[in-house]
Amino acid sequence: MKKNFCRLGCIQLSATLTLLVSGMAIGQVRTISGTVTQNGQPVSNVSVFQEGSTEVTITNSSGKYQIQVAGNNPVLIFKHPDYAEQRLDIGTISTANIALSNRERQIEEVVLNAGYYKVKEKESTGNIAKVTAKEIANQPVTNVLSSIQGRVSGVNITQSTGVPGAGFDIQIRGKNSLRSAGNEPLYIIDGVPYGGRVNAQNSAAILPSGNISPLNSINPNDIESIEILKDADATAIYGTRGANGVVLVTTKRGTKGRLEVSLNTNYGPSKVANHMEMMNTEQYISMRRQAYANSGIATYPSNAYDINGKWDQSRYTDWQKVLIGNWVELQSTMISLSDGGANSSFLISGGHTEQTTVFPGNFRYKVNTLMSSYNYKSPNKKLTLSFTNNFSTSDNNVINTDLTNRSLFLSPNAPALYKPDGTLNWEDGTFANPIASLEGVYNNTMKQFNQSLNVDYLIGLGLNFKINGGMNFQDFEEFAVKPNTMYNPASTSGSSPQYSTSSKGLNKIFSFIVEPQLSWNKKINRHELQVLVGSSLQTTRNQQSGITGTGFSSNALLYNIAAATTKTFRDEIDIDYRYVSLYGRVNYQFANRYILNLTARRDGSS
């Protein structure tokens, strides 16, 4: 009996000790509350968290907060972008009030993105220009290249045409080739290079050289910064692909500490600001007659309809107002959502943009964008992860022929565009009616997806491993339709749909890249050495095809080329491109004053 009693007592004692230890452990987790003020006024949206913990709370409009802490000597950290960071050792108290002090405003040091590495502006040995989101946001444009025109020395940016959705010709430090494509810089979005520019095969009449900018798919409001690498020192690490310069685009990231919802919308009308001053009918007729007199011609040719009596010589039309005088409407809407804690943040944004043209007719350019990003940094600050997605669709419906030249060279006494019954006026075959080109349409649609993943791990002793990977996909489709109604019905081409033509072009580009790299940084007294080695492995596939159909039973079938009597197929192109390279950089600094930078790259492709 005694032995059994001892056993029971031991069990009771053990249970009591277990409960006591458990109670002590639970007691270490407690709730702290308080109020955050500044000059006696409550401060809202202050991030409050325990040092070493991922749990974050935000002060309300009254400056009050409540948070659970653990441990024997917890330390609370108070963060707000407008005030200096505060740390408070709360000990055993349960109420912790704190007053924030103003942050000392200092000039921020400019850090440049050189692609594979970042460098302080004062320590950069290459020529790198930077344009920030603040400068981009000041201009309501559909393409970000429009907003940096004239802002970067040594960089000449011109739009190939004023038609919405057209491309840009960008030359960095002059022209390097007679071919326009030979002057194209390398575009890199969040570390992923574009696989190539799509080829618009049927747009020559309205989009010269088939030039469609790869940055059309990015909403300017989604961009955090643009760096342009201009000289040999800055571009050498990109090898032959960077010979014409490099354009680095970095998109925005989420904000930490509070949930932010942003809505940005704008609307603006515009038109051609200045028209060329042209002669009126009286001046024009006088000039024409004088020209024939100077040539010794007394009898006007039969095709000189403007002065031989066929056309009314008292009629006057300002063709610039008629053909390129419409108001252009630009409307853009963007909404974004971002949030984050002590170690991670995210951003999601969507945008819609529409733009009309100065030409007659209901032509419209539409772009839809969806962007997301996620960033994570481990509590020990060793692992950093960044993931971005950018998806866009565009639909460009424009006139088949640019009417700008016709508005300048058409006689001021040319006939009316329409007859009294509303039909096109051909003036008995003497007038090539410019408005007839509205019957023809050029339309292109494009889907684009850009994805990037960046993983950075700090190994220790100054050694850092980084791997960057991503993909870019472009799906481009275009239609160029020319019905017989574009031509004089008295002519052969305008007599029936048998002379109507329809052309279709397709272009798909898929690119994938992986870039591992290793860097080492060592600083001893006044000496600092940075070493970077890495490799690029990229594969790109470019597929192109096209078809033209002629002769239809009805113009209603123009978008169904299978219904054409005659079909002409263009050569199908399927290019599989593989690219491998090794690169390295050595940077030595002495006393933060003397800098030696060596960069090398070896490329191979097939």
Indicate the pairing of strand 246-251 with strand 186-189: parallel
Report whether 450 contacts 189 (CB < 8 A).
Answer: yes
Helix (H, G, I), strand (E, B) or coil at 379: coil
Burial 430-454 (b: 16+ CB within 10 A, else e): bbebbbbbbbbbbbbebbbbbbbbb
Report whether 581 contacts 602 (CB < 8 A).
Answer: yes
pLDDT level of residue 12 (50, 70, 90 thresholds): very low
Beta bridge partners of 37: 42, 99
- Check whether 14 has a pLDDT greater than 90: no
Indicate the pairing of strand 186-189 with strand 328-340: unpaired
pLDDT level of residue 399 (50, 70, 90 thresholds): confident
CA dist 268 and 266 (Å) reads 7
pLDDT 10s digits, 403-433: 888 999 999 999 999 999 999 999 999 999 9
CA torsion 426→430→434→437, rounded to 10°?
A: 60
| Residue 100, both tokens | 């924030």
- DSSP alpha helix (H) spans, 148-186: none
- Check whether 153 has a pLDDT greater than 80: yes
pLDDT at position 23 is: 39
pLDDT 10s digits, 448-462: 999 999 999 999 889
- Check whether 50 has a pLDDT greater than 90: no
CA dist 301 and 290 (Å) reads 14
Higher pLDDT, 160 or 318: 318
| Residue 495, both tokens | 């007599």
Helix (H, G, I), strand (E, B) or coil at 88: strand
CA dist 454 and 477 (Å) reads 31
CA dist 562 and 427 (Å) reads 36
Residue spans of beta strands (DSSP E) within 324-462: 328-340, 344-356, 364-377, 383-399, 441-460
Give the global pTM.
Answer: 0.77
CA atoms within 13 A on the CB side of 265: 4
pLDDT level of residue 208 (50, 70, 90 thresholds): low
pLDDT mean over 517-531: 94
Residue ranges of the chain that CATH labels 2.60.40.1120: 27-99
**CATH 3.40.50.970, applies to 111-250:** no
| CA distances for 362 relative to 290, 328, 563, angstroms | 41, 11, 27
CA dist 237 and 188 (Å) reads 14
Residue ranges of the chain that CATH labels 2.170.130.10: 111-250
The least confident of 216-230, 511-525, 535-549, 558-572 is 216-230
CA atoms within 13 A on the CB side of 49: 19
pLDDT 10s digits, 464-475: 999 999 999 999
CA dist 276 and 394 (Å) reads 33
- Check whether 120 has a pLDDT greater than 50: yes
Higher pLDDT, 375 or 108: 375
pLDDT at position 24 is: 39
| % pLDDT > 70, the chain | 92
395 by Cβ neighbours in 10 Å (0-12 / 13-18 / 19+) ranks as middle
pLDDT mean over 20-47: 74
CA torsion 562→563→566→570, rounded to 10°?
A: -30
Report whether 145 contacts 184 (CB < 8 A).
Answer: no
Q: 3.30.1370.140, 3.40.228.10, 2.50.20.10, 2.60.40.1120: which CATH number matches 27-99?
A: 2.60.40.1120
